Amino acid sequence: MSEVDLTFLDDAVGRIGRGKDRVLELLQAAQGHYGYLPVEVLERICELTEITPSAIAGISTFYDQFRHTPCGEHIIKICVGTACHVKGASLVYDAFLRHLKIESGGDTDADGLFTVEKVACLGCCTLAPAVQIGEITYGHLTCDGVGAVLEDFLRRDSIKKKDKKKGDGAAKIHPEGEIRIGLGSCCVARGSGKLLDAIEDVLTETAIKAEIKQVGCVGMCYQTPLLEIVLPDGKTFLYTTVEPKEARSIILAHFKPSSFGKRLMNSVSGLLDRVVSDNVGVDLCCHEAEVREGHIADFLGKQEHIATEHCGVINPVDLDEYVSKGGFEAFKRTLGEMDREDVIGEIEKSGLRGRGGAGFPSHLKWRAVEAQDCDTKYIVCNGDEGDPGAFMDRMLMESYPLRVIEGLAIAARAVGASEGFLYIRAEYPLAVKRIEEAIEKCEEAGLLGGDIFGSGFSLSLTIVQGAGAFVCGEESALMASVEGKRGMPRLRPPFPAESGLWGKPTLINNVETYSTVPWILNNGGDKFAEHGTVNSSGTKVFALAGKVANGGLIEVPMGISLRQVVEGIGGGIGGGRTFKAVQIGGPSGGCIPAGKADISVDYESLTAAGAIMGSGGLVVLDDTDCMVDIARYFLEFTQNQSCGKCTFCRVGTRRMLDILERLCAGQGQKGDIEKLYELSLMVKKGSLCGLGKTAPNPVLSTIEYFRDEYEAHIEGRCPAGKCKGLITYSITDDCIGCTVCAQRCPADAIAFTPYVKHEIDTEKCFCCDTCRNVCPADAVKVE
C-alpha cells in the first residue's frame, strides 16, 4: 500500500492522551480517520504513547469494531440479533452477498463500494430484519428487496454528495421544511394523487408553511405511496405505504401548526410511533439512525413506569424540564439531610436487585463498597448492553440520560466514590451523544464537578465507548476494558467492591439499576417494594420483539406472567401463527415453552424454569421457529463472543456449536444429543465467568422442553421447516401460474411457465424463502 500520512496521530495523541488506558479511544479515532488500522498507524501510536506493541496488537484484534484491512466506501451492517434472526436475517445477509457478487470468505464487492458485515444487534428489534448502511437504517427487509435498498441508499448518498459540493447542505432545504411525495407512475397508481390532495388540505387547515415537493420514482415501487418529511435542520423521515387519512397525523407529528399548541404535539406522538415502526402493514421503512423506535411504545396493558418515568413527555437532555419534574431532588437530599447509610437503607428497603441479569441485591453491593476503607473509590455504569434482542439500556440512555446520571450520582455519594465511568457500547452513538450532553449540562449547573453545592462531595464522570465485545458486559471484563486492556474476565473473588478498577473498590451496576434509584429515593424504598413480588420487587423493562404483534419497550411489574406480557401487552402472535415459546435472557437465558407461559416473571421462577431474567430481551417465537436452530443461533453468538481465556468456554462452546451445526445440517448422529447435553453441563460447571457459565442455557432449556425436535433432526427432519439442510421447497396444486416466484427466484430454480403449475428445481434452490413470501396463492410448501 501507499505511504500512510501519520500526522493525524500527533494531533490525536495530543488531544486524547498518551496513557495506557487511552488505547481504545486512540484506536477509535485512528479508525475514524483512516477507515481501518494500518500497521504503520499502530506502530506510530506505540511510538507516541506509553502503549506497548503487545498491548496494541492484542487490543486492536480483540474488539469487533476494529478493522485491519481496508473496507468499501459504505458498510452494510446486517443486524443478526435474535429478533432479526427469527425473521430471516441470515437469508438477507446471503441475499446481499449474492446481489453484490461477493464470494464466500470476502466481505467487500469488486468495486470497493460496499462492505457487508454482520453486527450483533442494532437494537432496532421491532424493525426486524434490519440493516444499517452508513447512517441510514432500513427495516423489515426481504431477500428480494436488497437491490431496492441499495439503489435507495445510493440515491440518497448522491444527493448528500451533491449537497456537500454546493457547500451548504441545509441551504437546499426550504426554511420551513419539506414534504416530499413520490409521483412516479407506480406511486400515482397506488394512490399518491389522493395523498397529495390530503396533504394540501392539512397544510391549508393548519397554516403550516412547509413546501410540498413532488419527486420522481425512487425505485421502491412496491411500497408506495411514499412520503418523506424533511425538517429545516436536514433530518428526514420516510413513511411507506401511506394512506391519505394518515397524512394529517404524520404532518402534525413533525410540523408545528401556527394555531395549535404543544399539547397536541404530544397527543399524536403515540400514533407517530405506530407509523414509523410498529405498523404491521409497513413492510419496509427506513430513516436516519437517530429515530429508530422513537419513544417507548405505549401499549395498553399492565405497564408501570419507574425507570421510564415521564415516558413520552420529557425532552431527553432538557435539564430544566427534568428538574421541574423533581429531577435531582433526591440527589440533593443525599448531599444534605441523608447520610450514606440512609441512602443504602432505602435501597435495602426497596429490595432492588441488579437489573443487568444476575439479580444480585443492590444494597449488598453498595454496602460492600461503602465499607471499604480507601481514599479512592470508583463507580461504573455498565451500558454495554450486548444481548442480541435487547435495547432497554439504549432507550434509557437515549431518553432519560439525566435520570441515569442522577442515579449514578446518588450511588457515588452513597459509597463515597468521586470518579465515575459510563461504559457505553459503540453501537449506540446517540446514547453516547445524549449522555455527553447531559453530563455537560449537569456540570454547567454544578450538579457534577468539584465540591457540589458546597457539600464537599465531588464527582466527575467520563464516558468510555466500548468497541464491540459482548464479554465486556461482564463486570471484570468491562473494568479491564476501561483500563485499556483486552476485555478479559478474571476469576472472582476478589469482587470489584474489594478490588475493581485499578485495584480500587468499585461499584458497578447497569443502566437500568441506576435509573430506578431516583424514583426509590423520591418515593421511598417501601413504595418501590410494593411493586412486584416479595423477592423480586419493582418493575423490569423488557424489549419485547420477535413474532409478537406489538413489539417494543415495556416496563412491567415483576411477577406478571409471561402470558400476560405476550398475549396482553404484545397482542399475541401476528400472522395467524401459534405461540410456541419465549426466549428470555438472551444468550445466557433459555426458552420457555408456551405451555409454561403462566410462570411469574421474577428472578427465581425464571431461573427454575431454565431461563434467567437477564437484561431484558424477550423474543417471542412461533411455530415456524426451529428450537434447534435457536439453540445453534445463540451458541454461535456466545462462541463468537467468548474472550477465549478458559478451555471450557473457548473450546467447549465451539464443540457444542459443532454438534448443533451438524444437527441443523442434517448430519446429526445417534448419541449427539447426549454428548451435547453432557458437554453443556461441563461448560456450565467449568467456565470461568458468567458468559461461559450461562452459554449452555439456551441449549439445555431447548433440550429439556423440545427434545423431540432434536430427535427429529437426527432422523433427518426439521419440524419447523427452518434448517436448510433438512428442508425442500416445492409448489403445490394451489399454484395459479402467476410467475411471480419464477421472476423473483434468485437461484433461477423456477422455470417461467405462465398459467401452468410451477416447479422448483431442488438442485438449484438454496432455500432463500423468497418464493414462499411472494406467492399470492400460498402454494409454496416447505418440508
Partner 1 sequence: MIELTIDNLAVSVDDGATILDAAEQAGVSIPSMCFLKGCAPSTSCMVCVVRVNGRESLAPACGTKAVDGMVVESDCDEVHAARKTALELLLSDHVGDCMGPCHVTCPAKMDIPLMIRQIAGGEFGEAIKTIKNDIPLPAVLGRICPAPCENACRRRLQDSAVSICLLKRFVADVDLASPAPYMPVQAKKKNKRVAIVGAGCVGLSAAYYLQVDGFDCTVFDSNEKGGGMLCDEPADKLSGGVLAAEVGVIEKMGVEFKLNMQVTGGAVFDKICKEFDAVLLAVGLENSEGLDSSLPSVFVGSDIGGKKKMAVAAVAAGKAAAVCVGQYLGGEDVAGSVKPFNSRMGKLLDGEIDVFMESASKAGRVEPAGYVGGFVNDEAVGESLRCLHCDCRKPVDCKLRRYAEEYSAKANTYKAKRRGFAQVLESEVVFEQGKCIDCGLCVEIASRESAGCGLAFTGRGFDVKVAVPFGRSLTEGLGRVAAKCIAACPVGALTSR
Give the angle 688-692-698 at the CA atoms, nearest 5°. Answer: 155
Smaller CB separation from partner 1, 47 or 243:
47
Smaller CB separation from partner 1, 449 or 686:
686
Instruction: Kindly indicate which of the ranges 331-339, 410-418, 648-656, 727-735 contains the residues binding partner 1, using the contact rule CB under 8 A.
Output: 648-656
Return the DSSP state at 485.
Answer: S
Which residue is it, cell 450538579?
447
Residue of 648, 677, 706, 710 interacting with partner 1 (CB under 8 A): 648
- Give, as ranges, the residues between 60 and 79 that touch partner 1 (CB under 8 A): 61-63
Minimum gap (Å) between residue 489 Cβ and partner 1: 10
The answer to the question of residue 679 lying near partner 1 (CB under 8 A) is: yes
What stretches of 642-759 show up as alpha helix (H) in DSSP?
647, 653-664, 672-686, 690-694, 697-714, 740-744
Smaller CB separation from partner 1, 37 or 521:
37
Instruction: Kindly indicate which of the ranges 90-98, 645-653, 714-722, 757-765 contains the residues binding partner 1, using the contact rule CB under 8 A.
Output: 645-653
**Strand-pair category, 136-139 with 285-288:** antiparallel
- Of 302, 179, 296, the residue nearest 229 (C-alpha): 179
The answer to the question of residue 38 lying near partner 1 (CB under 8 A) is: no
- Pairwise CA distance, residues 525 & 538, whole Å: 10
Minimum gap (Å) between residue 56 Cβ and partner 1: 7
Give the number of other Cβ atoms within 10 Å of residue 275's Cβ: 23
Residue of 9, 13, 26, 42 interacting with partner 1 (CB under 8 A): 42
Smaller CB separation from partner 1, 297 or 646:
646
The answer to the question of residue 477 lying near partner 1 (CB under 8 A) is: no
Which residue is it, cell 431527553?
316
Minimum gap (Å) between residue 62 Cβ and partner 1: 5
The answer to whether the beta carbons of residues 704 and 610 sit under 8 Å apart is yes
x/- letters, 605..634, toward partner 1 (CB under 8 A): ------------------------------
- Give, as ranges, the residues between 685 and 704 that touch partner 1 (CB under 8 A): 685-688, 693
The answer to the question of residue 655 lying near partner 1 (CB under 8 A) is: yes
Residue of 39, 110, 207, 371 interacting with partner 1 (CB under 8 A): 39
Cα Rg, the chain, nearest whole Å: 27
Element (H, E) at 204: helix 192-206
Which residue is it, cell 451435547?
676
The answer to the question of residue 486 lying near partner 1 (CB under 8 A) is: yes
Smaller CB separation from partner 1, 583 or 642:
642
Minimum gap (Å) between residue 492 Cβ and partner 1: 10
Minimum gap (Å) between residue 686 Cβ and partner 1: 5
The answer to whether the beta carbons of residues 585 and 681 sit under 8 Å apart is no
Residue of 643, 712, 718, 741 interacting with partner 1 (CB under 8 A): 643
Return the DSSP state at 102.
Answer: P
Q: What are phi and psi of 286, to 5 degrees?
A: -145, 150
The answer to the question of residue 476 lying near partner 1 (CB under 8 A) is: no
Instruction: Report the 3 state secondary structure along 245-306.
Output: HHHHHHHHHHCCCCCCCHHHHHHHHHHHHHHHHHCCCCCCEEEECCCCCCCCCCCCCCCCCC
Instruction: Kindly indicate which of the ranges 427-435, 518-526, 566-574, 678-686 contains the residues binding partner 1, using the contact rule CB under 8 A.
Output: 678-686
The answer to the question of residue 647 lying near partner 1 (CB under 8 A) is: yes
Instruction: Kindly indicate which of the ranges 5-13, 379-387, 548-556, 683-691 contains the residues binding partner 1, using the contact rule CB under 8 A.
Output: 683-691
The answer to whether the beta carbons of residues 585 and 358 sit under 8 Å apart is no
The answer to the question of residue 56 lying near partner 1 (CB under 8 A) is: yes
Element (H, E) at 582: strand 579-584
Question: For residue 384, what is its C-alpha cell?
Answer: 454495554
The answer to the question of residue 641 lying near partner 1 (CB under 8 A) is: yes
Q: Order the strands of the 590-593 sheet from edge to edge.
A: 552-557, 539-546, 617-622, 579-584, 590-593
The answer to the question of residue 671 lying near partner 1 (CB under 8 A) is: no
The answer to the question of residue 639 lying near partner 1 (CB under 8 A) is: yes
The answer to the question of residue 252 lying near partner 1 (CB under 8 A) is: no
Residue of 490, 527, 563, 772 interacting with partner 1 (CB under 8 A): 490
The answer to the question of residue 265 lying near partner 1 (CB under 8 A) is: no
Minimum gap (Å) between residue 646 Cβ and partner 1: 5
Residue of 37, 284, 285, 469 interacting with partner 1 (CB under 8 A): 469
Question: For residue 239, what is its C-alpha cell?
Answer: 413513511
Return the DSSP state at 156.
Answer: H
The answer to the question of residue 55 lying near partner 1 (CB under 8 A) is: yes
In one-letter notation, the amino acid at residue 433 is K
- Give, as ranges, the residues between 169 and 228 that touch partner 1 (CB under 8 A): none
Peptide bond into 494 cis (omega under 30): yes
Dihedral-angle region of residue 502 (phi above 0 means left; psi in -120 to 50 means alpha; beta otherwise): left
The answer to the question of residue 650 lying near partner 1 (CB under 8 A) is: yes
380 in helix, strand or coil?
strand
- Pairwise CA distance, residues 550 & 3, whole Å: 53
Residue of 22, 77, 180, 684 interacting with partner 1 (CB under 8 A): 684
Minimum gap (Å) between residue 509 Cβ and partner 1: 23
- Pairwise CA distance, residues 155 & 219, whole Å: 10
Smaller CB separation from partner 1, 431 or 477:
477
In one-letter notation, the amino acid at residue 387 is D
The answer to the question of residue 764 lying near partner 1 (CB under 8 A) is: no
Q: Give bridge partners of residue 573 from the DSSP assignment.
A: 548
542 in helix, strand or coil?
strand
Instruction: Kindly indicate which of the ranges 50-58, 116-124, 180-188, 615-623 contains the residues binding partner 1, using the contact rule CB under 8 A.
Output: 50-58
Residue of 450, 644, 671, 716 interacting with partner 1 (CB under 8 A): 644
In one-letter notation, the amino acid at residue 19 is G
The answer to the question of residue 645 lying near partner 1 (CB under 8 A) is: yes
The answer to the question of residue 47 lying near partner 1 (CB under 8 A) is: no
The answer to whether the beta carbons of residues 30 and 41 sit under 8 Å apart is yes
Q: Give bridge partners of residue 132 from the DSSP assignment.
A: 77, 137
Counting residues that bind partner 1 (by CB under 8 A) gives 43
Instruction: Kindly indicate which of the ranges 235-243, 497-505, 640-648, 735-743 contains the residues binding partner 1, using the contact rule CB under 8 A.
Output: 640-648
Q: Is the dihedral of CA 715, 719, 720, 724 positive or negative?
A: positive
Minimum gap (Å) between residue 358 Cβ and partner 1: 13
Instruction: Kindly indicate which of the ranges 608-616, 623-631, 653-661, 762-770 contains the residues binding partner 1, using the contact rule CB under 8 A.
Output: 653-661
Give the number of other Cβ atoms within 10 Å of residue 755's Cβ: 9
The answer to the question of residue 646 lying near partner 1 (CB under 8 A) is: yes
Question: For residue 566, what is its C-alpha cell?
Answer: 405476550
Element (H, E) at 179: strand 178-182
The answer to the question of residue 642 lying near partner 1 (CB under 8 A) is: yes
The answer to the question of residue 430 lying near partner 1 (CB under 8 A) is: no
- Give, as ranges, the residues between 493 and 532 that touch partner 1 (CB under 8 A): 493
Smaller CB separation from partner 1, 100 or 679:
679
Q: Which residues bind partner 1 (CB under 8 A)?
A: 39, 42-43, 52-58, 61-63, 469, 486, 490-491, 493, 639-648, 650-655, 658, 679, 682, 684-688, 693
